[in-house]
Homo-oligomer: A and B are copies of this chain.
């Protein structure tokens, strides 16, 4: 079925009446049909009305119903076939292999959440049985479960047109929690969004769920997003993007008569610490791994290694030289959008023109309309500490090496960092004590700490934390990747002395849903 250039509101496909959106192939600059007529307040109103109406039914679907729905979404996305990959390639400039991998991740993520739903850990069932004989006062029967917050607004990200977009992690975890979702699709890949949106729409229908379980809106500018976040029926927001965009949504959410949580994943420069023994033993290999991570996806990852920190030494100089050589040979890759390309050029320009910063190397210019020409820069710890601007994220394949006088200065730099998604240690056995002194600092700065790997590549699993202190995210208590992401869209409710007939299923005697339970504070076997 050809793309129609429509928004999806419940079971309908509709056109808006605000500014049109047209995708651009960033590799060629050519525009891609069809044009999407953007929506406005009327479409937000209709989608919210349907989401609210769907919530009562959807939040109380059984574990199996909800899991089957998530699996149906995955199957429908796979059933689109190559059309999805080709459209995404055209809209993003990302290569086929990356997008096929991302599709696998997206569908794997939906199936992971299906299993999370079935396992029922997310219900956090807690039972404190009645103690009628207790003195001086008896205790009533108390039971707790988690319930869904309500309809969620999800903002698609530009850099993961599948895994962080229409049916990405925020959508999958909201739906898993029992929340209807209204996606505001990213204007850079409306066709990809429509294809995936229709897949979700089909799954809603085949699973006989209320149509308002899912809607997909488009709109350029911030109007539609602000309207969505302001709507009283929306109860939480998922966002991945710029710091400016994220903080604007936070402000809107906090200014509501009823403030709501915003889960914004915003910016991170992902420091990599090269410890002396590792640098001595395998500097060349580290340089190779580093530049591969730096260039992956034209550096357009939240976890791109934008900062390298080490003590100044001949080994560090050799590392920088080797990394610089690799950067010089780096072929340019097409960036996702003209806007991202221009912001990257500005960011790299700021570094290049900073008197305290040394340009180590730039990559190839290439022939794309919007190429990412990699950049490697260096500065001293003292200059870095003196200039907060050097902590600003440059979204793309740009990184800054910080040369420190000693490990004290390394720790000083670490302690002055803003919140990060990741922090990486390159270390050998003999670096253990150095690493031990850094770890407590890094635990306060980042959501994930890696040893001897690279921060790009985020595993979708149970132990993952893709989050971190502000400004990496708006809420360090959460993760936007992995099964724990579901907790963002839940809240606890306690039921005191309810008659058996009124108790929600998972709280009933005999544990009919067979979920893990905390009874009197003890985990039931």
* A residues whose Cβ falls under 8 Å from a Cβ of B: 56, 60, 101, 115-116, 119, 121, 124, 126-128, 136-137, 139-140, 142-144, 147, 149-150, 250, 254, 258-259, 261, 419, 425, 427, 429, 432, 435-436, 439-440, 443-444, 446-453, 457, 459, 461-465, 467, 469-471, 474-479, 483-484, 487, 490-499, 501-502, 516, 518, 520-523, 525
Contact = CB atoms under 8 A, between A and B. Distances in A.
7 contacts: A139-B459, A140-B450, A142-B461, A250-B254, A250-B259, A476-B491, A478-B492
A439 B502 CA distance: 8
Contact of A493 (B142, B432, B449): B449
Contacts of A149: 476-477
Given A258-B419, A496-B449, A518-B121, A126 B463 contact: yes
Contacts of A446: 493
A265 to B, nearest CB: 14
A259 B408 CA distance: 28
A491 B464 contact: no
Contacts of A459: 128, 139-140, 142
A443 B235 CA distance: 14
A270 to B, nearest CB: 13
Contact of A477 (B432, B435, B491): B491
A450 B144 contact: no
Given A140-B459, A462-B520, 14 more contacts: A119-B522, A121-B521, A128-B464, A137-B457, A140-B450, A142-B461, A143-B463, A144-B465, A258-B419, A261-B475, A432-B502, A435-B502, A465-B493, A483-B521
Contact of A464 (B142, B476, B518): B142
A443 B493 CA distance: 7
Contacts of A425: 502
A293 to B, nearest CB: 14
A473 to B, nearest CB: 10
A259 B474 contact: yes
B492 A467 contact: yes
B470 A258 contact: yes
B258 A128 contact: no
B259 A470 contact: yes
Contact of A521 (B124, B462, B501): B462
A143 B462 CA distance: 9
A374 to B, nearest CB: 23
Contacts of A478: 492
Given A142-B463, A459-B139, A451 B502 contact: yes
A425 B56 CA distance: 20
A521 B115 contact: yes
Contacts of A139: 459, 461
A304 to B, nearest CB: 16
A147 B440 CA distance: 10
A449 B126 contact: no
A499 B427 contact: yes
Contact of A128 (B121, B435, B462, B494): B462
Nearest to A124: B484
A499 B126 CA distance: 35
A497 B451 CA distance: 6
